[in-house]
Structure formats: structure tokens, C-alpha cells
């Protein structure tokens, strides 16, 4: 693994030009999808519009046997664009999709994206160029999170995810000002030989396989470069219900991941659970010791003040006072749903066997 490159971050802080297309590596872009008829067309349009040489690129849409019009849409693109291929993923889930895609890919470089995202025209070329110049094993950008639909609620959800109060120090969501060595990057651009060195995605980790893969890169002495020049638009959940379910499932995986003996988590993933437990414990002990009642009110009050302050700051920055009506709610859903999910995942650890499957479903 090439982790001893002499290039340093100081050499990469200025914007770079588009990669020289002479002797450019062949790139395989993997698009995982399942029932994405609302998003897949604009996703493929954005990749097809890439400035990377079309004869040095392929787009593999790895479909989880969609039941809507997704497959017909992709087949139509494949008929019109020879670089597009539809690949079946009978298991449906993300890590299986990535492994199917990698096994079917012809590229020396693998770029990962999803049907819920849009690529900047220079996305592929910039990823490849930074990877060549930095020697990083994984190169990617921060997500530019967009509303799933054009409503005030969806806008509040997107702003919540891209806020430090909503996502902590997850720079992949909050962004960076210059190229930064990080613990993860959005989707990612990898050399194919990396998968031969550290293995493919762990298909048991249906909700955290990307985090696990990045941990394995770092454990093997590799590096992950987060680059602000690399722009990836991602569409957030459009409704409060979908947002709640998504955060609950992510919370489950924040603790349930321990069942698989992997370090695919960060301390920030457990903060909502710690916050929730502090409220629960103080509320239970309050009837016995009145001081815990004051502690409960203090914790909840500090949270409310922080939430309102973050909401006011975002509203002022975007010059939309109406955000003040919805951001405290979306922040609360983000934190409480994630905390409840993490607590539930921790409880599941006590039972033998596997009880949680995928991002949003329990094994029956």
C-alpha cells in the first residue's frame, strides 16, 4: 500500500487543473440503486456529462432488482450510451452492490456514488488527479446536501444534516476549506489494487460497511483525503417520517456494529445516545433525589438553548426567518431518533444471532 508518498497537504491546497487526459487510467463509476426511478435519470445525466474521456470510463448501475421503473430507465440509458451497464444485485444492500460492481468493473480506478447524488462535471477527473498527486488510498469530497423536495421541511432537514450541531465534526457533511486528511470521504475514489490488498466491503455490515472499509484503510497505513474542490450533491430525506426512520436506523448501527468486532464507529456516533441516557437516568432518579430533577431540567434547557442558537444562526445566514419554526424540530428528530436507535442497537447486542438487517429493517 502506497502510504509513504512524499507529497504533503501543502502541495494540494491550491485548486488544480483538470487531469491531463493523456494516458488517463480507465475509471469505473459504480452507482448503487434500488427503486430510484425519481433520482436515477438526473444521476446518470450528471455522470455522462463528466469531462473525463468517455473511452476511458464506464458507468455500472448496480440495481437491487428494483420493482419500479428504475431498470427500464437504466436500460434506456445503456441503449443510448455504450458506457452505461446495468448489473444485477439480488441481495439489494449497499455492500453487496459494491462488491458486485467491483467484480464486474474493468477500471484501474473505482469511483463510488449513489442514485441519490449528482456529480459535478469535473468530479471524476478531479478525484483521479488528486489521487495521483497525493498518493491517497481514498479521495473524495464533502457532501453538498440538497433538499429531497422543494418544501420548507425538506430544506430544514438538509440544513440540519450539514450543520455542526446536527452532524458534529463529521467534515464529510459539514465541509472543509482545504484538502484535509480525514477518517472518511463522500463515497470515494479508490485504486483497484486496494481491494486486493485489504479485501472487499464486509457484506454483514449492511449499514456501516463504508465506515468499516475506511477504518481498514487507515489500519493498514493508508490515507483518506477530503477535498473541497470535489463537489458531490446529495439529496436528503424529503419528509420528517423518512428522516426519523433514517436516523433511527443509523443509530442502531452506531452500537449494533459492535456485534461484528469492527471499529466502524466514531465517538460522535454515540453522543446522541449519551444525551438521551442522561435525560432518562435523571428523570428516573428525580422522584428519589430532587437534585436529579434539576439536572434533568438543566440538560434539557442547555440543549434547547443550543438548538435555538444553531437554528437562529442558520436562519440568519440564509435570511429565512421561517426556518426557526422547523429547525428545532428537525434537530430534535436527528438527535433523539439517533439516540433511541443507538440504545435499541445496544440492547440487541445482548441477544444471540442477528436481529437487524439493512439500514431500515429488522430480520423477521
Q: What is the pLDDT of residues 240-269, one digit of tens each?
A: 999 999 999 999 988 988 888 887 777 788
Please check whether residues 126 and 261 belong to one and the same domain.
no
Give SS3 for 92.
coil
pLDDT at 362 > cutoff 90: no
CA dihedral 148, 154, 160, 161 (to 10 degrees): -10
Closest CA to 340 of 242, 254, 211, 241: 254
Please check whether residues 75 and 192 belong to one and the same domain.
yes
Sign of CA dihedral 169, 207, 307, 279: negative
Residue 312 included in any domain = yes
Please check whether residues 314 and 191 belong to one and the same domain.
no
pLDDT at 14 > cutoff 50: no
* pLDDT confidence of residue 59: 97
Average pLDDT in the chain: 88
Sheet containing 186-191: give its strands across.
84-88, 57-63, 27-33, 109-114, 186-191, 138-141, 224-226, 180-181
What is the per-residue pLDDT across 155-203, written as a single tens digit (0 to 9) for each? 999 999 999 999 887 777 877 888 989 888 888 899 999 999 999 999 8
**CATH, residue 165:** 3.90.550.10
CA dihedral 105, 109, 112, 117 (to 10 degrees): -110
Copy the grid coordinates of residue 90.
439480488
Q: Concatenated DSSP letters for 15-30?
A: --PPPP-TTPPPEEEE
Number of structural domains in the chain: 2
Residue 10 included in any domain = no
pLDDT at 356 > cutoff 80: no
Please check whether residues 110 and 190 belong to one and the same domain.
yes
Copy the grid coordinates of residue 212.
468499516
Query: What is the share, in percent, of the chain residues with pLDDT greater than 90?
Result: 64
Cβ atoms 82, 165 nearer than 8 A = no
Give SS3 for 165.
helix
User: What are the start-end ranges of the H helices in the chain?
Assistant: 40-48, 70-80, 94-104, 123-134, 152-161, 164-167, 171-174, 192-198, 209-219, 240-256, 271-285, 290-318, 323-348
User: Which residues sit opposite 362 in a β-bridge?
Assistant: 356
Please check whether residues 35 and 99 belong to one and the same domain.
yes
**152 vs 139: CA distance, rounded Å:** 33
Please check whether residues 205 and 232 belong to one and the same domain.
yes
Return the ∠ at Cα 35 (arms to 341 and 203), rounded to 5°: 55
Higher pLDDT, 63 or 16: 63
Please check whether residues 45 and 161 belong to one and the same domain.
yes
What is the per-residue pLDDT across 70-81, written as a single tens digit (0 to 9) for each? 999 999 999 999
Question: Residue 221 belongs to what domain range?
Answer: 24-238
> How would residue 1 be classed by pLDDT, with cut points 50, 70 and 90?
low
Last residue of a domain, one of 179, 212, 238: 238
Q: What is the 3-state secondary structure (H, E, C) of 136-157?
A: CCEEEECEEEECCCCCHHHHHH
Residue 15 included in any domain = no
* pLDDT confidence of residue 15: 41
Higher pLDDT, 1 or 126: 126
* pLDDT confidence of residue 21: 60
Please check whether residues 281 and 172 belong to one and the same domain.
no
Amino acid at each position: 500500500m502506497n502510504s509513504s508518498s512524499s507529497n504533503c497537504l501543502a502541495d494540494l491546497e491550491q485548486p488544480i487543473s483538470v487531469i491531463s487526459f493523456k494516458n488517463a487510467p480507465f475509471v469505473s463509476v459504480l452507482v448503487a440503486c434500488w427503486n430510484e426511478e425519481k433520482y436515477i435519470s438526473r444521476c446518470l445525466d450528471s455522470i455522462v456529462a463528466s469531462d473525463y474521456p468517455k473511452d476511458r470510463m464506464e458507468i455500472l448501475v448496480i440495481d437491487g432488482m428494483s420493482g419500479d421503473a428504475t431498470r427500464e430507465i437504466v436500460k434506456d440509458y445503456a441503449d443510448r450510451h455504450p458506457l452505461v451497464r446495468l448489473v444485477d444485485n439480488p441481495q439489494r444492500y449497499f455492500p453487496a452492490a459494491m462488491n458486485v460492481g467491483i467484480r464486474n468493473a474493468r477500471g484501474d480506478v473505482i469511483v463510488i456514488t449513489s442514485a441519490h447524488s449528482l456529480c459535478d462535471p469535473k468530479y471524476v477527473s478531479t478525484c483521479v488527479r488528486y489521487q495521483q498527486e497525493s498518493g491517497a488510498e481514498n479521495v473524495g469530497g464533502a457532501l453538498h446536501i440538497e433538499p429531497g423536495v422543494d418544501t420548507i421541511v425538506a430544506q430544514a432537514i438538509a440544513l440540519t444534516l450539514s450543520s455542526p450541531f446536527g452532524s458534529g465534526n463529521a467534515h464529510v457533511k459539514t465541509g472543509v476549506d482545504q484538502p484535509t486528511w480525514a477518517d472518511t470521504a463522500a463515497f470515494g475514489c479508490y485504486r483497484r489494487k486496494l481491494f486486493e490488498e485489504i479485501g472487499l466491503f464486509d457484506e454483514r455490515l449492511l449499514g456501516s460497511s463504508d465506515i468499516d472499509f475506511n477504518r481498514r484503510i487507515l489500519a493498514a497505513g493508508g490515507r483518506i483525503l477530503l477535498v473541497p474542490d470535489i463537489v458531490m450533491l446529495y439529496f436528503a430525506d424529503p419528509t420528517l417520517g423518512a428522516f426519523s426512520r433514517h436516523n433511527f436506523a443509523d443509530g442502531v448501527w452506531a452500537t449494533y456494529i459492535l456485534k461484528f468486532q469492527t471499529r466502524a464507529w466514531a465517538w460522535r456516533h454515540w453522543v446522541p445516545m449519551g444525551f438521551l441516557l442522561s435525560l432518562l437516568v435523571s428523570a428516573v432518579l428525580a422522584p428519589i433525589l430532587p437534585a436529579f430533577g434539576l439536572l434533568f431540567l438543566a440538560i434539557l434547557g442547555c440543549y434547547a438553548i443550543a438548538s435555538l442558537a444553531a437554528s437562529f444562526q442558520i436562519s440568519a445566514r440564509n435570511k429565512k426567518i421561517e426556518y426557526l419554526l422547523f429547525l428545532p424540530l428537525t434537530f430534535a428528530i436527528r438527535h433523539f431518533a439517533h439516540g433511541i436507535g443507538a440504545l435499541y442497537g445496544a440492547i440487541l447486542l445482548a441477544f444471540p444471532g442477528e436481529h437487524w438487517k439493512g439500514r431500515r429493517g429488522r430480520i423477521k
